[in-house]
Amino acid sequence: MVWNPELVPGRISTEVDARLSYDTEASIAKAKRLIKLYNDAGISNDRILIKLASTWQGIRAAEQLEKEGINCNLTLLFSFAQARGLCGSRRVPDLAICWPYS
């Protein structure tokens, strides 16, 4: 059976491998590979959400990806220091989603 993207409404979220959480460039490269796979399947960027860990490197990756029009969701946010690094500095002003945990 071939997957039909029209059967799934709204956004499609795909997580970058957590083993890349401390490697900005590798996270960016993986995100772009995922985007290409979706684009090749006929899914536009506005439906795709790339999920990254909220490490310093993940935040930098999201900053770059958002500048390139790739929507990001930063997750695994457990501390005020992470939140400050993400939201307080306004480094990623157009971030699509951020999921804090307590």
Supply the residues annotated as catalytic: 51
Q: What are the CA-CA distances from residue 100 to residues 40, 57, 65, 83, 89 (Å)? A: 32, 17, 20, 8, 16
Question: The tokens of 1 are what?
Answer: 């059976």
